[in-house]
Structure 1
């Protein structure tokens, strides 16, 4: 970098050039001469390379959001951290839309292909409360990540990992759709919780009603939940499993920083625990998986729980070849005759 800082106008010119090259290099009619010109521009200043990589990552996010558009086949450069701004991201969205499809007088928004607002949220070490651009409120559990896109005909959440509690702003003309694994939850205004771990999803309805589908490939809007009902499914399930919840249901205890295990078999408890761990705990066999566990735990201290399990359960810890903790049941000795 030069010691002389760039003016805002100079910086904006670099940003515009980076967006231009990001579009041109992925166009079918990009010439060899243009690619050589790009290389010269790219190498002329470190800021040029930095801005191009940022614009490229912004474009990839748009490809992910606009799933109906074709994705460019190219190798992604190294990701650089930089705060996103709406006008930059959606400038790229417009460029991608124009590059990918000849929309003539129509925009991607009018055709329902591109959103007019896009938000990305993560919660790492603390529970996080956020407000979406439509006014809906979302509370994210630890280690959770989601995106929100506002389209002309729908509001779309993609839960990438973790758990979230939604208080959805009512809008019958713009349904609120949460995509989790291969399924979806469709609402117009309500309060509900979505938990996801690997290929497992669980939906708890608090107020209003929702339609839950476990597989986007299956026609129809899915099964309807009423308050105090729960739907669960795994990736690939044809239909979700519906059950009733009760007054002592503890699925929302995470909002108070707690994980409540109510006399669960380890097979059922470990997905709830592993959601918070970098190295998930495994069970050695079905016998170990049937051992039951209970208690109330701080969600920020679940790593300590793993080491303490042999103190409270008839198990001992080993590690598999990938370094995961493995619980093994202690064989019971036969009584002496």
Structure 2
């Protein structure tokens, strides 16, 4: 199965090419992206197939009515499935999550919520979670994005956070959890937590440390660079030799436009700087003036190409 991030990029190219606004340069860029890797070709083929299937749902037929009805019954289930898959690709990110999360934020929105036990949760932009306090336990599930947890101390009721394959257990402390396509990041500001995942022993992580889950595997703890990792809590975006791909992934929590890299070389360019969380345009301007890249701004989409 094609990776979701590639399908998302292919979806964006398909929307652009069928928008009626695509220029010759856009079509050339789309073709270059398609030919950059076999995985890109496969992703575009899958998206094009779903686009074609959806078009068949409303395609008129000249067959007799009785045969039309029989054909509709025969194709109803496959076409309905195709339509659902296509909607999953084309709807804005987080559309389905928003239907069942207890709380969610839009890009650029930071929101606090006080739970019944006194714990304070702060959600970064473009994040979603829900919680359940039953049977002597407190449990939160992070579906998307990032949240800071200041957990009220209660040894009798452990506080558990689940994010992807990560499981974090505490009784009272402060920590930050970020769920991304590549995995889960945990940063502990105060106290001590137990980090684990399916099939691995709980790993103690103390204040001033961070750990990552990659491919479901829990990595060894590392020293926490709180100024950079937790800058959003102070209204800042702090980057120190960060790959441009990671910078834009973080920037998407502050703005609604998605970012699409046309070539792979631009992803690895490094960025250093401190920016206001509520001013994503400052990041874009800095990237354009300091790096050999060109940003093509489209409605809801930014294309990143190397400047030659």
Q: TM-score range by the shorter chain?
A: 0.5 to 0.7
Aligned twin of 2:105: 123
> 2:218 matched to 1:239?
yes
> 2:173 matched to 1:194?
no
> Which of 214, 218, 222 is equivalent to 2:199?
218
Q: TM-score scaled to structure 2, two decimals?
A: 0.60
Aligned twin of 1:56: none
Deviation at 1:240, TM superposition (A): 3.2
- SS class of match (2:254): coil
Deviation at 1:258, TM superposition (A): 1.3
Q: Number of aligned residue pairs: give it.
A: 208
Aligned twin of 1:252: 230
For residues 241 and 327 of structure 1, do their structure 2 counterparts lie closer, same or farther at Cα, with a shift above 3 Å needed? farther
Aligned twin of 1:289: 267
Q: Return structure 1 stretches of 4+ with deviation > 6 angstroms.
A: none
Any gaps of 5 or more consecutive residues in structure 1? 1-118, 332-337
- SS class of match (2:217): coil
Cα distance in 1 for residues equivalent to 2:193 and 2:240: 27
Any gaps of 5 or more consecutive residues in structure 2? 1-100
Cα distance in 1 for residues equivalent to 2:213 and 2:289: 33
The CA deviation string for residues 272-299 of structure 1, in whole angstroms up to 9 with x for no partner, is 2233333332333442222111222222
Aligned twin of 1:328: 305
Aligned twin of 2:117: 134
Alignment check: 8 A CA contact 2:124 2:253 kept: no
Aligned twin of 2:293: 315
- SS class of match (1:267): helix
Greater Rg over alpha carbons, structure: 1
Deviation at 1:319, TM superposition (A): 7.6
Q: TM-score scaled to structure 1, two decimals?
A: 0.55
After superposition, the CA RMSD in angstroms is 2.7
Cα distance in 1 for residues equivalent to 2:220 and 2:246: 15
Cα distance in 2 for residues equivalent to 1:311 and 1:261: 16
Greater RCO, CA 8 A, separation 6+: 2
Cα distance in 2 for residues equivalent to 1:127 and 1:307: 23
